[in-house]
Amino acid sequence: MRRVVFSILVDNTSGVLSRIAGLFSRRGYNIDSLTVGVTADQRFSRATVVAKGDEIILDQIEKQLNKLVDVLDIKRLDPESSICRELVMIKLKVNEENRQSVISVANIFRAKIVDVARESLLIELTGNQSKIEAFIDLLSGYEVLELARTGITGLSRGTFDVKIYDEEGRLMDYDFS
């Protein structure tokens, strides 16, 4: 089983997310992670989908996604030529005795303490999935009150595969040099 991160450029219209999720559920494929957000061009959104499977299944997923009307572009984000990140927010129960040790762990990971209360700390951390997992593992000795993760999002490095669309949604030739 291989894990692949798909970066999918879609029309920013209602129902797109439902159609993507529906494609996965109809075919019996599992989505490990899904994030969606509008791009710099308000007409488009970028969905980042993480899926696992053998190469035949992953190719099938890509082909089926390409058939969706709203999909403009699909990229497989290769770990060597892309940056992927995730956000986690963790609310921990703390007291006077353990507050400083939690802060020390947060500092080691360059996490931000975004809320301080008498009996809790809310910590925010952004990083790759292994960094997030290591951070959560280190905090396992503390009482986690709440935890929220965004899922993975990412982009490829450089400009070699950037696609620009005109006002009518047609792919434009664009020279970055």
Are residues 26 and 64 located together in one domain of the fold?
yes
The answer to whether position 139 is within a domain reads yes
pLDDT band at 176 (very low <50, low <70, confident <90, very high): low
The answer to whether position 170 is within a domain reads no
Residue 113 belongs to a domain with what CATH number? Answer: 3.30.70.1150
23-76 pLDDT, tens digit each: 999 999 999 999 999 998 999 999 999 999 999 999 999 999 999 999 999 999
Are residues 38 and 76 located together in one domain of the fold?
yes
91-145 pLDDT, tens digit each: 999 999 999 999 999 999 999 999 999 999 999 999 999 999 999 999 999 999 9
Pairing relationship of beta strands 120-127 and 82-93 according to DSSP bridges: antiparallel
Are residues 77 and 106 located together in one domain of the fold?
no
User: Which domain range does residue 63 map to?
Assistant: 2-81
Are residues 15 and 26 located together in one domain of the fold?
yes
Are residues 53 and 27 located together in one domain of the fold?
yes
